């Protein structure tokens, strides 16, 4: 029996990677480093331990306030970019035993260089970062952490565009992708969203930009109320499909709509894929991306309390992250309790 763990289980830490001059952050590196400083220090101040990949530990340490350093573990590693959600370990239980699965990563369908990112989990296992015996090589199958979400009860939510894309695993059918998720991560009930694509999204519609599972049979989703927005029709179709979804027991989900941020554009006037669905959940805190849009930011954070009434909701401004077409969830990967070897 395998079980893909929900995001809000207790964790040993959060895996992140610091921008460096050989990442795509190079053109705004000082700004990007300040963005990551803001992310890390806010998470540390709210009870998280951060496992931070970097090129040189002594240089990385200088970025952070001294009071934060005790809750950051710096690890030297080689990596192409900072999106640990998609190349970090996907954690499951197998017959009650923890497993850290290392899936293949090919730069979101061969769009970007990923040769070093694809080796990060091997590097960490070689450094004895993971508890002895829990690492499992699944690198013959391409699977990104941002492309799947679970309620921890066997249901996995994903998107057809991503899981069935031709440049990941040769273009699987839904049925073939379903079988792989059942075999690899223990999915018992797989739901494929066929609609929902944000402009500027490089991931082929990762689920963590669109819809997220929450406790008590709930799904939070990105809505759009502006009929003039070019994304309106696609997100409306997604909402309609969500109303048709049923859980493993045949029950409809409680749907909670997150607002869509006002359009954000890059310097070339291309729209960026800003979304409030790209939040990180811990066992007690939700870290929400905000975009300097007071009304929308506050509405999104208040909406989260509907699905997670006992959680503290903390906003972190992510306007720099979105410049590289990602946000808060993309930049983080939770490491459930028992994953980190030196804590065991």
What band does 344 get if pLDDT is binned at 50, 70 and 90? very low
What does the pLDDT average to over 224-250? 97
CA distance 120 to 17: 10
What band does 3 get if pLDDT is binned at 50, 70 and 90? very high
What does the pLDDT average to over 334-338? 97
Q: Give pairs for 17-22: CB < 8 Å, separation 24+.
A: 17/52, 17/53, 17/54, 17/77, 17/79, 17/81, 17/82, 17/83, 17/84, 17/331, 18/52, 18/53, 18/54, 18/55, 18/60, 18/63, 18/82, 19/82, 20/54, 20/55, 22/80
What integer pLDDT is reported at residue 198 of this predicted model?
97
In this predicted structure, the answer to whether residue 170 has a pLDDT above a threshold of 60 is yes
In this predicted structure, the answer to whether residue 257 has a pLDDT above a threshold of 90 is yes
Read off the pLDDT of residues 195-212 as tens digits, 9 standing for 90 and up: 999 999 999 999 999 999
Looking at the chain, the whole-number percentage of residues with pLDDT higher than 70 is 99
What band does 181 get if pLDDT is binned at 50, 70 and 90? very high
What integer pLDDT is reported at residue 1 of this predicted model?
81
The answer to pTM > 0.95 is yes
What band does 52 get if pLDDT is binned at 50, 70 and 90? very high
Cβ–Cβ under 8 Å, residues 317 and 42: no
CA distance 253 to 42: 32
In this predicted structure, the answer to whether residue 249 has a pLDDT above a threshold of 80 is yes
In this predicted structure, the answer to whether residue 327 has a pLDDT above a threshold of 70 is yes
Read off the pLDDT of residues 107-160 as tens digits, 9 standing for 90 and up: 999 999 999 999 999 999 999 999 999 999 999 999 999 999 999 999 999 999
Residue with tokens 């959600």: 85
In this predicted structure, the answer to whether residue 241 has a pLDDT above a threshold of 90 is yes
Helix (H, G, I), strand (E, B) or coil at 335: strand
In this predicted structure, the answer to whether residue 270 has a pLDDT above a threshold of 50 is yes
What does the pLDDT average to over 79-90? 98
What band does 343 get if pLDDT is binned at 50, 70 and 90? low
- Average pLDDT of every residue of the chain: 97
Q: Which of 276, 320, 335, 341 is nearest to 38 (CA)?
A: 320
In this predicted structure, the answer to whether residue 21 has a pLDDT above a threshold of 60 is yes
What does the pLDDT average to over 91-113? 97
CA distance 261 to 274: 6
What does the pLDDT average to over 76-94? 98
């Amino acid at each position: 029996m395998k079980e893909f763990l929900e995001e809000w289980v207790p964790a040993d830490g959060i895996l992140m990677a610091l921008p460096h001059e050989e990442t795509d952050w190079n053109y705004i590196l000082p700004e990007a480093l300040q963005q990551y400083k803001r992310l890390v220090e806010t998470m540390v101040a709210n009870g998280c331990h951060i496992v931070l990949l970097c090129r040189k530990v002594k240089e990385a340490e200088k970025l952070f306030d001294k009071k934060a350093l005790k809750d950051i573990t710096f690890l030297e590693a080689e990596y192409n970019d900072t999106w640990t959600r998609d190349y970090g370990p996907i954690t499951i239980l197998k017959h009650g035993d923890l497993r850290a699965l290392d899936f293949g990563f090919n730069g979101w369908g061969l769009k970007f260089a990923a040769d070093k990112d694809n080796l990060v989990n091997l590097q960490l296992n070689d450094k004895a970062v993971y508890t002895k015996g829990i690492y499992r090589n699944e690198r013959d199958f391409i699977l990104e952490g941002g492309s799947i979400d679970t309620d921890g009860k066997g249901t996995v939510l994903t998107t057809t565009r991503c899981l069935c894309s031709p440049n990941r695993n040769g273009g699987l059918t839904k049925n073939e992708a379903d079988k792989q998720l059942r075999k690899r991560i223990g999915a018992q009930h797989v739901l494929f969203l066929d609609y929902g694509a944000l402009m500027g999204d490089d991931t082929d519609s990762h689920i963590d930009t669109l819809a997220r599972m929450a406790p008590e049979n709930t799904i939070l989703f990105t809505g759009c109320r502006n009929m003039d927005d070019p994304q309106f029709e696609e997100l409306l179709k997604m909402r309609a499909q969500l109303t048709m979804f049923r859980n493993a027991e045949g029950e409809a989900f409680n749907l909670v709509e997150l607002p869509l941020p006002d359009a954000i554009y890059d310097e070339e006037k291309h729209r960026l894929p800003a979304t409030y669905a790209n939040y990180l959940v811990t066992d007690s805190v939700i870290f929400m991306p905000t975009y300097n849009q007071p009304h929308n930011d506050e509405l999104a954070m208040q909406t989260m309390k509907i699905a997670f009434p006992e959680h503290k909701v903390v906003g972190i401004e992510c306007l720099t992250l979105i410049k590289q077409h990602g946000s808060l969830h993309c930049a983080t990967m939770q490491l459930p309790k028992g994953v980190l070897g030196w804590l065991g």
